[in-house]
Every structure is written in C-alpha cells, then in structure tokens.
C-alpha cells in the first residue's frame, strides 16, 4: 500500500487529503531461466504468484524451486499482462495537450452515464463512455474493462471525434495500464467509479492527465491536475 495527495469532495466540502492507494509493479516471470511473460501485480507473495501462475496456466506440472531476482528493466514496447488479464504495451508516453475543463457537477453526470444494460442484466460487465460538450457520444460494454476503453476510443477515431475535447468515464479500476490508454489517445480527463494505483497516479501526473476516481454518493477524489475541474480551488479546501 502507498499514499497520495488528493483533493476530495466529501459531503459537499472540499478537502486536501492523503488517500491510501494500492501499489502495482511489473513482475517478470521466468521458467528454467527462460522468460515466459510479464504480469502487473501487487509486490507481495511473489513466490506464490510465480508458482501459482505456472501451475494454474498449465505451463508445468510441478515446481522444484523458486527464486526472486533483482529488478529488470522492461523494454519500452514490450507486452505485459495487466492485473485484469488484459494486454498492454509499455511504451513511452506523450504529454496531454488540451485546454478542456469541466464543472465538478459534470463528474457525476459522467458516472451516471456508465450505467450499462448488460451489467444490469448479468452483473458481469464493465462499461466506458465518452462525453464531449456535456453530451454522451458513445457507450461500450464488455467483460474486460480494458476492452471497453478500446471500444470507445475506436468509435471516436472511426467517426472523426476530437479526443482532446472528451472525458472518459469508466466503471473499472485505473492502474497505469488503463491510464496509458487515455494518455496515448490524447484524452485529458478520466472519471472512474473505482480506485486507482500508485503507478496510475504517477503516469497521470507526468502526462498531464486529470484523474478523478472513487466517484460515488456525491463524493470523488481528484488525484492529478485538478485545474481541469472548475469549482475546485485552494480557497475552498477545508
């Protein structure tokens, strides 16, 4: 676990708070000293993770010995398996260039838009939306949270929509692999019902992206670049 500063709206009051966030790291797996893959995971019980992955994926029938090695540097364009099972390319990111701002009330409008009929019927789907000019322009559902983001971004590209003027709303958690999708697409604001991670916050901060998470019951936390949310000013903080 780690901590991060955030500006949080709680029962109508703005507060500067220290929020607890999960830690994520890239874990490199080797079998008989040969690379077999890379995972995004919490940096605990790593021996158990390695053994469990090898056995549960049917890669080997047994494991004689487990070793932990020093950190290796992952190649800039190497594929990794995210914490939800989705694939991500860990590539160099660019900075967000957008003058978009939204009202703090818009945060709740975005979250209201991610209600998915598929989730209501099955309880087993994520949803992502894109808003532009306070209007919902596309909604996508999928069993994978990463896929929902890819779908709405793909719709925008195919229809000539300027992503630098869009807000991305998500049901899913926002680790670095999710945040990077918005950064690469040039989307300046992410709004999510779920939490983020230390690396998600770090990437959003470096890239100039506004990351709003844990939106529920009239409350939310802004972890990075709060200047894009109108109505959040230092003099309003308690």
Token pair for 79: 């594929």
- Give the phi and the psi of residue 142 in degrees, each rounded to 5: -170, 160
Share of the chain above pLDDT 90, in %: 63
Residue 65 CA to residue 47 CA, distance in Å, equals 10
Share of the chain above pLDDT 70, in %: 87
Q: Which of 111, 49, 109, 113 is nearest to 81 (CA)?
A: 49
Q: Given this structure, which CATH class describes domain 2-21+93-236?
A: alpha beta
pLDDT above 60 (res 235)? no
Confidence (pLDDT) at 117? 83
Q: Where are the alpha helices (DSSP H) in the chain?
A: 46-56, 104-112, 117-122, 145-158, 176-185, 198-207
pLDDT above 60 (res 224)? yes
Token pair for 142: 């999928």
- Flag the least confident range among 31-45, 72-86, 183-197: 72-86
- Global pTM? 0.85
For the chain, give every residue range classified as CATH 3.10.20: 25-82
Give the count of beta carbons closer than 10 Å to the beta carbon of residue 30. 13
pLDDT above 70 (res 123)? yes
pLDDT digits (tens, 9 = 90+) for 53-102: 889 889 988 889 998 886 654 444 455 555 444 545 555 567 998 999 99
For the chain, give every residue range classified as CATH 3.40.140.10: 2-21+93-236
Kindly list the distances between the CA atom of residue 131 and the CA atoms of 19, 147, 149, 210, in Å, as whole numbers in the listed order. Answer: 27, 18, 13, 15
| 74 or 41, which is more confident | 41
How high is the mean pLDDT of the chain? 88
Sorting pLDDT into bands at 50, 70 and 90, what band is 120? confident
Q: Given this structure, which CATH class describes domain 25-82?
A: alpha beta
Confidence (pLDDT) at 12? 87
Residues of the chain by 3-state class (helix, strand, coil), percent to 5: 30, 35, 35
Sorting pLDDT into bands at 50, 70 and 90, what band is 110? very high
DSSP for residue 186? T
């Amino acid at each position: 676990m780690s901590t991060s500063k955030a500006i949080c709206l709680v029962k109508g009051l703005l507060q500067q708070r220290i929020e607890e966030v999960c830690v994520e790291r890239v874990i490199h797996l080797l079998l008989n000293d040969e690379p077999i893959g890379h995972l995004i995971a919490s940096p605990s019980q790593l021996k158990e993770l390695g053994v469990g992955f090898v056995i549960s994926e049917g890669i080997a029938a047994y494991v004689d010995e487990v070793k932990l090695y020093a950190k290796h540097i992952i190649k800039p364009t190497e594929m990794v398996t995210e914490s939800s099972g989705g694939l991500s390319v860990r590539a160099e990111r660019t900075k967000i260039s957008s003058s978009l701002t939204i009202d703090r009330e818009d945060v709740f409008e975005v979250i209201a838009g991610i209600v998915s009929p598929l989730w209501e019927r099955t309880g087993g789907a994520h949803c992502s939306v894109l808003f532009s000019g306070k209007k919902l322009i596309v909604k996508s559902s999928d069993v994978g949270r990463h896929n929902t983001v890819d779908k709405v971004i793909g719709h925008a590209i195919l229809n000539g929509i300027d992503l630098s003027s869009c807000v991305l709303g998500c049901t899913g958690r926002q680790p670095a692999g999710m945040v990077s999708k918005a950064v690469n697409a040039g989307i300046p604001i992410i709004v999510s019902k779920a939490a983020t991670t230390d690396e998600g916050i770090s990437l959003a901060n470096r890239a100039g992206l506004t990351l709003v998470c844990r939106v529920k019951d009239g409350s939310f936390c802004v972890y990075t670049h709060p200047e894009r949310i109108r109505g959040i000013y230092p003099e309003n903080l308690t």
